[in-house]
Structure 1
């Protein structure tokens, strides 16, 4: 296994959930520790750049503020100083049952069962789940990357390839132990952001049980392109609700050409949550997600209100 920041790998090792025979430290690879501009106007984020250095990088803050806000909503300052961009994409679920080696878990031991189905499932999935697994993907950074339509660059023994972000993570289906489409031995080298960063109208909203160092019950990344008060382009991605960041392009299409108001965001929320299924303890997340989408859409109209100490616009 590869180790960079180690903020998830070491935890899993300590919890007796991973037993790597060989750990390869990749921190000495300097070419993956840079943030560079691309010829097409985009930005390349090295896989070994820390989450903190990415969030506070001047080009990320100015051109992709949605990504900066999402990263800073995750974990703690100490963890962000260690965690890497590549590792953020590869972190495992924070399901209570997955982290308990003494109980069954289909993600940990395929075919052993999923206690969350009938157990305490408050933090679990309402979209894209299967009869094998209802865990959710915990990343904040990845929700913003999904909305921005990033591309993941990987390298392996068969050469390199570019993976659209929407295709990188997978839903559980019958094999919940497989989180993404990386092949054995492949390494994430960088993440490419397109030129379009939605720097004028954006918002990241994370709803959680406590203000810091907590995973999302529901999170929303919203990016808008406006002409006056009319929406010309829209991106909405949800976190905390599925096995991967959740986007529904039909929901975004509902917004295009509409006036940017609560009615439009409410209509989009209904489409985005189509097919959502609540269980005993997490059914509240369906309505919570709908309200969060509307609230975050309105926040994206005035991103300056998200600055520290700022007061909401009248």
Structure 2
């Protein structure tokens, strides 16, 4: 499946907020003082470590919002693998504008490429199984759409985007409702015909109870591979099975081989390390 770019109205608010944070009330006083307005340069985005690329649209918009005359030429596309030294893109335009936007552009591209890179490493690890890697709602406030895009760039798939697009009955919902049976029945009575229902279970007994009620998906929380295999057998194709909790690149393969449909990992979007990408002066424009 091709990677569909995010529409500009989705990414622009985040980029504007980041630029406004950096510019404050006076703008880039260093570049204004040091760099002549007439000077032009070419800068090169270059990978400094292996990984997977994401975030070029966001970086390009950071430059455009500072100066629409800046031109960014892409040499590879989001979702492609990077090696140290890979030339990602070149940007050309007024030097002072390039310098004003560079940190915002690098912050976004490095962060999103970090998410894509970790995603790709786990996707590679579980290759050959039926399992797919999914994200969660554990995202940076205000950056969810971008971070979920980065996970797609790395080969993962998205879980629900927010509280409004699917029903996920978790442990606290169950406790407050008084039990899985009550929670599921209330959800079914409320859900629209297009809304799927998933329930989180901690034990195989809870799973059996959920399957007796019938749901679209079950979240198998913090289960070891042997438990997951038994859970898959209990479900027997009647619902989507999702493993969650404690999944790392080292444990992902064994979990995927249990036969579950999904591995959902929250730390990818909230804690993936930034990928080291440089933006270096190449020549006068």
TM range (shorter): under 0.3
Higher helix share: 2
Which structure would you say has the larger RCO, counting Cα contacts within 8 Å and 6 or more residues apart? 2
Taking structure 2 as the reference length, the TM-score comes to: 0.26
Taking structure 1 as the reference length, the TM-score comes to: 0.24
